[in-house]
């Protein structure tokens, strides 16, 4: 009888990789870091994964207690997938891995990118020592995706909504935001001067935000 596929090592890293080390699994968790997602949304956001593999990975993560099903609040009231407490506990590890990945060359110019991945990107860039005495919210409208980052006394919280009390709101088309902050192909000041990025609110808070989430 063949043994179940895995590393078969008495090592916590090996055991973790037995659960989340398969291809696409960590990217699926990345997408769920932003919040609950319907199956069709996950399939649309990860088209190269394929629906059969997506279903298999979700079932695997449910079996290991990292993902659970829940109903989205009204008016949607439909089934979605969300990370459990154990799944959310992976956020620091994924952020550290994403931070390490920033030292690698950028991907292909036509590679996929989504503003929803900011849920991980902000964690990867977060410098808690810069905001120990600060409590501010920063708003972003990237295409039709609204989110707020709340920094508070050395911690950060990611919210999939645009808070009215945000110190500033940065708005941009997804491609322009990607060019400035993900690819680095468009200088920030140039983007602001051209109006492809628009900033409303407290500019000093925006400067503080840049320092707190510097690559």
86: number of Cβ within 10 Å:
14
DSSP-derived letter for residue 122 is: H
Q: Are strands 155-159 and 145-152 parallel, antiparallel or unpaired?
A: antiparallel
In the predicted model, what is the mean pLDDT of residues 37-44?
95
Closest by CA to 126, choosing from 152, 155, 148, is 155
pLDDT exceeds 70 at position 165: yes
Task: Tell me the torsion sign for CA atoms 193, 196, 200, 202.
Answer: negative
pLDDT given at position 48: 92
Mean pLDDT of the chain: 94
The domain over range 12-101 is classified in CATH as 1.10.10.10:
yes
The region of weakest confidence among 78-87, 149-158, 159-168, 180-189 is 180-189
In the predicted model, what is the mean pLDDT of residues 19-37?
96
CA–CA dist 147, 110 (Å, integer): 24
Angle at 106 between CA 212 and CA 97, to 5 degrees: 55
CATH topology identical between 12-101 and 126-212: no
Task: Give percent of the chain with pLDDT exceeding 90.
Answer: 87
Interval 87-138: pLDDT, tens: 999 999 999 999 999 998 877 767 888 999 999 999 999 999 999 999 999 9
Residue-range domain boundaries for the chain: 12-101, 126-212
Number of helices (H), then strands (E), belonging to the chain: the values are 10, 7
pLDDT given at position 73: 84
pLDDT given at position 1: 41
pLDDT given at position 37: 96
| Position 18 confidence tier, pLDDT thresholds 50, 70, 90 | very high
Furthest-apart CA atoms within the chain: distance in Å: 66
Q: DSSP states of 35-99 as a string?
A: S-B-HHHHHHHSGGG-HHHHHHHHHHHHHTTSEEEEEPPTTT--EEEEE-HHHHTTHHHHHHHHH
What CATH architecture does domain 126-212 belong to? 2-Layer Sandwich (3.30)
pLDDT given at position 114: 92
Distances from the Cα of 139 to the Cα of 38, 54, 59, 174, angstroms: 24, 31, 34, 15
| Position 6 confidence tier, pLDDT thresholds 50, 70, 90 | confident
pLDDT given at position 101: 94
pLDDT exceeds 80 at position 3: no
pLDDT given at position 120: 97
């Amino acid at each position: 009888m063949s043994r179940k596929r895995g590393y078969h090592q008495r090592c916590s890293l090996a055991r973790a990789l037995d659960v989340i080390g398969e291809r696409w699994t960590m990217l699926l968790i990345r997408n769920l870091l932003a919040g609950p997602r319907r199956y069709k949304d996950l399939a649309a956001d990860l088209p190269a994964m394929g629906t059969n593999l997506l279903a298999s990975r979700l079932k695997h993560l449910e079996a290991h207690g990292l993902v659970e099903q829940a109903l989205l609040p009204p008016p949607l009231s439909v089934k979605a997938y969300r990370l459990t407490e154990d799944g959310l506990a992976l956020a620091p590890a994924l952020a550290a891995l994403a931070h390490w990945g920033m030292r690698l060359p950028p991907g292909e110019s036509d590679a996929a990118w989504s503003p929803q991945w900011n849920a991980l990107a902000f964690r990867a860039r977060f410098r808690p020592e810069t905001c120990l005495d600060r409590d501010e919210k920063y708003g972003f409208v990237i295409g039709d995706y609204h989110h707020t980052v709340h920094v508070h006394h050395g911690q950060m919280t990611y919210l999939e909504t645009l808070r009215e009390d945000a110190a500033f709101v940065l708005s941009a088309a997804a491609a322009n935001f990607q060019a400035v902050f993900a690819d680095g192909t468009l200088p920030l000041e140039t983007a602001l001067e051209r109006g492809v990025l628009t900033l409303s609110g407290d500019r000093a808070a925006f400067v503080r935000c840049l320092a707190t989430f510097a690559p």
